[in-house]
A = this chain, B = another copy of it.
Amino acid sequence: MANEHEPAKPHRITISTVAAALGVAVSTVSNAYNRPDQLSADLRERVLAMAAELGYPGPNPVARSLRQQRAGAVGVLFAERLPYAFRDPAALMVLEGIASTLEQAKLGLLLVPGRDDDTTTVQQALVDGFIVYSMMDTDPLVEAALKRRLPTVLLDQPPRPDVPSIIVDDEAGARMATEHLLSLGHRHFAIITDRLIETHVRPSHAPINVQTQSEATFFVTQLRLQGYRQPLEQAGIAWSDVPIYDCNDNNEADGAAAIQILLARTPRPTAILCLTDRLALGAIAGAQQAGYNVPEQLSIVGFDDIPQATRITPALTTIRQDHRQKGLSAGQALIELLAGQSPTGYQRLAVELVVRDSTAAI
């Protein structure tokens, strides 16, 4: 019985405390927990009983993780600050999809906090891999995550070589939205976006012009703007004539504020392209409040097809994408990576125009 007579350490009970108390090898205690077939049922009982008596909380997961080289969780990096993740309906559906696959694989889902300037949380996240979802292109957290050299999947991010990406055909969706409005005869367009330019850089709340658009910091924002632009120019509408209002945030209130400004312009736009449904819902509400009739006087189209899109009157015409599937695909791809397989290439998910009641012929 290896019995040290030290001044009684504070009280951290480990596997070897239990082993010592019983006079058995630590490996035996370990086996009692992990390989019942490696020791007699009798001894195993005694080990477990002694563990209970000593208040041993079971094998320390961190030590186990170190030894086994697996954390049993994947980290999710999301653009918004952590709490906002729980507010955005589209993001929630994506997270739900991710969570579904992870749950089946018995993996935990670690939401990693962290404002760009501080990457330590990413560097120290106890995970086996990352899903990077809708981060600003320039966000240092993305770099930090990639530097970890863990299996990683990009979602709504600019693709990179050697990193599997799930991408959505945002550009096609934006084109479909625009063509729909054009086919209804609209000629005066305006666009509502968010976070096209970082808040502290943006000069004012006025619609911004075409020059500054190149600084777009979200990949999908760029894709969607691109998709709006092409059919417009093809229809002979100068891109520089299309006012773009840049909101601080993706929410209904900002959308409502944006529409007020845009409606005051001359010529008054009759067709509004919103980069997200939340902005569009806000725009509808704002327009109605200002006394405009949607869609008679003003057509509005969103992007995302969140559940709320059908609950507003008029129901929102929008571009549908399968958010849940995005999450599922991302989770699945990551799980394949973790299993050492190379995932099924990078996936491109289709979108679909859903015409409802917020758009009409001019």
Contact = CB atoms under 8 A, between A and B. Distances in A.
Interface string A58-85: 1111111110000111010000011101
B106 A113 contact: yes
A36 to B, nearest CB: 14
A99 interface: yes
A212 to B, nearest CB: 31
Interface string A241-285: 000000000000000000000000000000000000000000000
Contacts of A292: none
Central interface residue in A61, A65, A120, by most chain B CB within 10 Å: A61
A64 B100 CA distance: 30
Contact of A109 (B66, B82, B106): B82
A192 interface: no
Interface stretch (A121-129, A133-141, A166-174): A121-129
Given A58-B148, A81-B103, A124 B86 contact: no
A64 to B, nearest CB: 7
A163 interface: no
Interface of A: 55, 57-66, 71-73, 75, 81-83, 85-87, 92-93, 95-97, 99-100, 102-103, 106-114, 118, 120-121, 123-126, 147-150, 311
User: 10 tightest CB-CB pairs across the interface, nearest first?
Assistant: A126-B126, A103-B113, A86-B96, A82-B99, A82-B103, A57-B149, A109-B111, A61-B124, A83-B100, A83-B99
